Amino acid sequence: MPGRTATAKGPKDQPDPFRSVVSCLLSAQSRDANTAAATKALFALATTPGAMLALSEGMIAAAIKPCGLYNTKARNIRRLCHVLLDDLGGIVPQTREGLMRLPGIGRKCADIVLSFTFEKDVIAVDTHVHRVANRIGLTEARTADETARQLEEQAPPWARRDGHFWLIQFGKAICVARRPKCGTCFLNDHCGYFTATG
């Protein structure tokens, strides 16, 4: 697993922290293709917090409709922009705590922005990482947030920069959701799932 590659970019390849955090907000419970359509439509209308607040909630919701939950997300985008401008001088925070104070931003999104946009050494936990970490026995957690907390506590410093990338690549290539390739997996002699099911 190669880890972080030279082409790894911010969420949905956005060029600045504001658009990265908004696109991450839009990606919640949305397929990549739908998120891409929503971000393209939204950022064709506005690319800064001030410009976004010039749009009505209805205009934002119409633009992001492909990504689902568009009414709630539109409301959170406007609230997020107000917080950025009113409390933070228009600057997206570079800490997990600061990002999680933004409306609509939870731990997963905060860690993804930290890792991809600000290149911080954190293991962002998405669906793939959560599944793999718990399946092979790196963590024992029911939720992605708990998986993230356990990985943060247990992962050695040298593994934090690329941990997200290793686990997600492994989850897409070998430890897939359905029919994991346990028989040919190079970790099967260390894997709790293989031991229990093999």
108 is a catalytic site residue: yes
Domain with CATH 1.10.1670.10 in the chain: 127-197
pLDDT score at 9? 53
Active-site residue (options: 12, 108, 111, 162): 108
Domain with CATH 1.10.340.30 in the chain: 11-117
What is the distance between the alpha carbons of residues 19 and 161, in angstroms, rounded to a whole number? 22
What is the distance between the alpha carbons of residues 101 and 86, in angstroms, rounded to a whole number? 13
pLDDT score at 197? 82
> DSSP E strands: which ranges in 97-166?
none
When the pLDDT of each residue in the chain is averaged and rounded to a whole number, the result is 92
- pLDDT profile of the chain (198 residues), mean per 10: 63 82 93 92 97 98 96 98 97 97 95 90 92 94 95 94 91 92 92 84
pLDDT score at 26? 96
9 is a catalytic site residue: no
- Please report where in the chains the tokens 């800490």 appear, as a residue: 95
Q: Summarize pLDDT for 58-85 with one digit per residue, the tens.
A: 999 999 999 999 999 999 999 999 999 9
Active-site residue (options: 12, 73, 126, 162): 126
Strand, coil or helix: 182: helix
pLDDT score at 7? 63
pTM (2 decimals)?
0.86
pLDDT score at 110? 96
Contact between residue 174 and residue 180 where contact means Cβ atoms under 8 Å apart: yes
**Domain 11-117: homologous superfamily in CATH:** Hypothetical protein; domain 2 (1.10.340.30)
For domain 127-197, the CATH architecture is Orthogonal Bundle (1.10)
